Chains A and B, each alone.
Chain A
Amino acid sequence: MNAVETTGRFGAFGGRYVPETLMANLLELQAAYADARQDTAFQAELRQTLAEFVGRPTPLYFAARLSEAWGGRVYLKREDLAHTGAHKINNSVGQALLARRIGKRRVVAETGAGQHGVATAAACARMGLECVVYMGGLDCERQRPNVERMKLLGATVVPCEAGTRNLKVAINEAIRDWIANPAGTHYLIGSVVGPHPYPLMVREFQRVIGDEAREQFAARHQGLQPDAVVACVGGGSNAMGMFAGFVDQPRVELHGVEAGGNGQGPTSATLNHGRPGVLHGAYSYLLQDAEGQIAPTGSVAAGLDYPGVGPEHSYLNDSNRARYHVVQDGEALSAMAELSRTEGILPALESSHALAFTKKLLRERPGLTVLVNLSGRGDKDLPGLLAKGLLKTE
């Protein structure tokens, strides 16, 4: 086993900063995951589930009209076409299979945009597991369609009304649930955050995005690779999944896009505005004040509205392998509308941040070939945006 697998450290970042009550669970999970990774039967079942239930591989799509409008070559990895509408399902089915393998009958999860909650509810329904999803009260309001979907899929949705009422609070409550129910419960975390082995394990379940995209791109371009790969970063799972396919190719630029909020209030741009600290079990960049209190965050995209970031992104940032940028609410909303009109694809608000950065990148460096991870579809966002007058349909 290499260093990351034993210590959970990406350079200085990562680790497992959790109450002792959870250590036995984390060590059990680490061992079970290491075992499953080597087990051809587990891998075969995962592959089959990804093919038949999730609908993989997802297409690589050349956005011809958008490319013309933006002055480059834009390819979209269509995670919006995965079952339940986002990349989150790749990780949810992987961890649900693992939970079942280690005999856990109950799954708890957090969700921000609701995509991870829906994906986990679907995976649990498929595997006959009980599912409880914690979701901030603010996010329940702005992602209402997903709350109903989770319930329809048989999950119990617990709104979290403490403090900031967003993803951070939902993770707090999910971890507290796990502390109180360590024996029969698996915590199915939705991003590359949290204590070891989650950042590593979730990346590995998501790397199917990058592995597929790399092959698909190479197959079309005589083995060539894109100039740049772009993904939005909340906790960072769709980005890590995509980056995993390209990180060992030094000529491919890696760009992560963080949420800048509305330009007046707080941001969620952890790597751009934070400094390292410990939240939710990992040492990583963090939006915090001088006392180490977690700072309030803001973003129109519930899935990006988080003060932390996966430890491997902190590592890629500090080692300069990847660069992280900031996109504001308004820019993301424009990109959302633009993709809808030019390509007939309605992207999630989260993914729209990656698109908005791509537009700026091509303005600065026209002609680049850019692969964007279109992490999810935007149907979930419409009611909230229309109600607030943030998006106009004509």
Chain B
Amino acid sequence: MTALDRAFAKARAENRRALLPFLMSGYPCRERFRADLAEAARFADVLEVGVPFSDPLADGPVIQAAAAAALREGTTLARTLEDIATLPAGAPPLVLMLSFNQVLARGLGAFAAAAAAARVAALIVPDVPLEESAPLEDALATRGLALVRMLAPTTPEARMGRICAGARGFLYAISVAGVTGTRDSLPPGVEDYIRLARRHASVPLCLGFGISRPEQVRTLAPLADGFVVGSALIRLQQEGKPLSPLLGALRDATAIQGDRS
């Protein structure tokens, strides 16, 4: 069993869906990122950390701005790996999110080795779709890391099947056709889409993009195994506010009442 498997199993045993808070490395500054990461670790089942990139295609204005600020602060991959290595031994498993060029710049093998040494459990690389994933997946697998595969509302069912077959760690279902960012409501049809994806998934299915409020998590908790919340936390950081009230409310909202489809 990997650390990710254990994290999802633990949430299930506690009758909860998993909470996956996302923070941007080095944002708003290195010290505050480290403090917020430690804070998020208290509520998280899995931690997600973005390594800032100059030109992130799948990100909306909030995360773009955070990435730009983090780069101005001098955030690098090396610094990110140092910072996450300071998490205590019992901390939730951590997933790094970044663009493929940042991995290529190190070299696939060297990157996998460095990430493994920092106890990174998996990578999310949004610009690597199934067709291009083999070299990266192989390099990561050598070091025991997973590449998290993604599904989108535009993914046809046959393709969903191919993506889910061989998925490791967990699957990341993008809730809306669009970039990251908070949204007041998720599109109609999101429930059918998750149900369909769930039929093909043999690893936990987590929903991300646009999820910002506990009510959304409560409504969707019967359907998905986990929820990624990013822009909403970064907005709090932007405003200089503490993260724990939202994290606590989100964590409460992950409880499964009755229906365990």
A15, B132: Cβ atoms closer than 8 Å: yes
Chain A residues, CB < 8 A from B77: 291
Q: Indicate whether B179 reaches chain A with its CB closer than 8 angstroms.
A: yes
Contact with B along A249-290 (1 / 0, CB 8 A): 000000000000000000000000000111111000010101
A279, B101: Cβ atoms closer than 8 Å: yes
A20, B53: Cβ atoms closer than 8 Å: no
Residue of A nearest to B126 (CB): A19
Whether A163 contacts B132 in the complex (CB less than 8 A), given A182-B177, A290-B105, comes out as no
Q: Indicate whether A342 reaches chain B with its CB closer than 8 angstroms.
A: no
Chain B interface: which of A172-180, A333-341, A370-378? A172-180
Q: Indicate whether A24 reaches chain B with its CB closer than 8 angstroms.
A: yes
Q: How far is the CB of A153 from chain B (nearest CB, A)?
A: 28
B177, A20: Cβ atoms closer than 8 Å: no
Whether A281 contacts B127 in the complex (CB less than 8 A), given A21-B174, A292-B104, comes out as yes
Chain A residues, CB < 8 A from B126: 19-20
The contact of B152 among A20, A176, A286, by CB within 8 Å, is A20
Chain A residues, CB < 8 A from B155: 20, 23-24
B102, A179: Cβ atoms closer than 8 Å: no
Chain A interface: which of B9-17, B39-47, B54-62, B244-252? B54-62
Chain A residues, CB < 8 A from B131: 15-16, 23
Q: Indicate whether A294 reaches chain B with its CB closer than 8 angstroms.
A: yes
A17, B177: Cβ atoms closer than 8 Å: no
Q: How far is the CB of A161 from chain B (nearest CB, A)?
A: 11
A19, B99: Cβ atoms closer than 8 Å: no
Residue of A nearest to B76 (CB): A291
| Chain B interface bracket (under 10, 10 to 19, 20 to 34, 35 or more) | 35 or more
- Alpha-carbon distance between A309 and B106 when the two chains are bound, in angstroms: 21
Chain B residues, CB < 8 A from A317: none
Residue of B64, B71, B130, B132 with most partner-chain A CB within 10 A: B132
Q: Indicate whether B68 reaches chain A with its CB closer than 8 angstroms.
A: yes
A16, B104: Cβ atoms closer than 8 Å: no
A294, B54: Cβ atoms closer than 8 Å: yes
The contact of A279 among B55, B128, B129, B150, by CB within 8 Å, is B55
Q: Indicate whether B6 reaches chain A with its CB closer than 8 angstroms.
A: no
Whether A180 contacts B178 in the complex (CB less than 8 A), given A20-B150, A20-B152, A21-B152, comes out as yes
Give the size of the chain A interface in residues (CB under 8 angstroms).
Answer: 35
Q: How far is the CB of B60 from chain A (nearest CB, A)?
A: 8
Chain B residues, CB < 8 A from A276: 104
Q: In residues 5-57 of chain A, which contact B (Cβ within 8 Å)?
A: 15-25
- Alpha-carbon distance between A281 and B77 when the two chains are bound, in angstroms: 22
Chain A residues, CB < 8 A from B55: 163, 168, 172, 279, 294
- Alpha-carbon distance between A24 and B64 when the two chains are bound, in angstroms: 25
A24, B159: Cβ atoms closer than 8 Å: yes
Whether A278 contacts B101 in the complex (CB less than 8 A), given A21-B152, A25-B154, A175-B57, comes out as yes
- Alpha-carbon distance between A15 and B133 when the two chains are bound, in angstroms: 11
Chain B residues, CB < 8 A from A319: none
Chain A residues, CB < 8 A from B159: 23-24
Q: How far is the CB of B96 from chain A (nearest CB, A)?
A: 14
Q: Indicate whether A2 reaches chain B with its CB closer than 8 angstroms.
A: no
Q: How far is the CB of B180 from chain A (nearest CB, A)?
A: 10
- Alpha-carbon distance between A294 and B56 when the two chains are bound, in angstroms: 11
Q: How far is the CB of A189 from chain B (nearest CB, A)?
A: 13
- Alpha-carbon distance between A120 and B151 when the two chains are bound, in angstroms: 32
Q: How far is the CB of B61 from chain A (nearest CB, A)?
A: 9
The contact of B105 among A16, A182, A292, by CB within 8 Å, is A292
Contact with A along B165-187 (1 / 0, CB 8 A): 00000000010011100000000
Q: How far is the CB of A358 from chain B (nearest CB, A)?
A: 33
- Alpha-carbon distance between A175 and B60 when the two chains are bound, in angstroms: 12
Q: Indicate whether B214 reaches chain A with its CB closer than 8 angstroms.
A: no
Contact with A along B64-97 (1 / 0, CB 8 A): 1000100100001100000000000000000000
Closest 3 CB pairs of A and B: A292-B105, A21-B152, A180-B178
13 CB < 8 A contacts A-B: A16-B132, A19-B126, A19-B174, A20-B174, A25-B154, A162-B64, A162-B68, A176-B60, A179-B179, A180-B179, A181-B177, A280-B57, A291-B77
Spell out B's residues near A (CB within 8 Å).
53-55, 57-58, 60, 64, 68, 71, 76-77, 99-106, 126-132, 150-156, 159, 163, 174, 177-179
